[in-house]
Amino acid sequence: MLTVFRSKAGADILMVGAQAHEVLQALGREPAAQGIFRGEQIDEALRYLAQALAAATELPPEDADANEAAAPAPGLQARTWPLRNLLEAARARNCDVTWTSA
The model carries a pTM of 0.81
Nearest to 94 by CA among 7, 26, 4, 6: 7
Tell me the pLDDT tens digit for each residue of 30-45.
999 999 999 999 999 9
Looking at residue 56, what is its pLDDT?
80
Positive or negative: CA dihedral 90, 43, 26, 53:
positive
Please name every residue paired with 6 in a beta bridge, in sequence order, or none if there are none. Answer: 98
Low-confidence ranges of the chain (pLDDT < 50): none
User: What is the predicted pLDDT for the residue at 14?
Assistant: 96
